[in-house]
């Protein structure tokens, strides 16, 4: 599996940095965001290092589909019943802060409104 030793999310996958995990399998890891924008805010990341959506290829289609299906399952399990939002920031102009593909899933009242 491809990893980047300088990537904070790769370090979380490797267990070098703790996280509040909500799901893990051979391909995906989901954990609570450390700076949530909503009452429920989880990140779903592939364990393989993919820097951003710019680097996604046809070979990643099933992995991205699994991320989306998992997001619905996690929101149900975490008690989100009135909708949620998916966000994938891509690149500097897209406000991506960590260069490792990650899906934000935010649920609860007005999850897009911080402050």
Q: Which residues are tagged catalytic?
A: 102
Q: Where are the beta strands (DSSP E) in 1-115?
A: 21-24, 28-32, 40-46, 84-87, 103-107
24/66 Cα distance (integer angstroms): 12
Structure tokens at 78: 């975490």
110/96 Cα distance (integer angstroms): 21
Look-up of token digits 């996280």: 19
**8 A C-beta contact, residue 75 and residue 112:** no
């Amino acid at each position: 599996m491809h990893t980047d030793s300088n990537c904070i999310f790769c370090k979380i996958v490797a267990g070098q940095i703790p996280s509040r995990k909500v799901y893990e399998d051979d391909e995906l890891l989901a954990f609570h965001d450390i700076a949530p924008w909503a009452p429920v805010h989880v990140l779903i990341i592939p364990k393989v290092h993919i820097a951003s959506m710019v680097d996604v290829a046809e070979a990643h289609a099933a992995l991205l589909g699994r991320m989306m299906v998992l997001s619905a399952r996690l929101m149900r399990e975490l008690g989100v019943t009135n909708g949620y939002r998916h966000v994938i920031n891509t690149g500097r102009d897209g406000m991506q802060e960590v260069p490792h593909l990650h899906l934000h899933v935010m649920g609860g009242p007005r999850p897009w409104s911080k402050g």
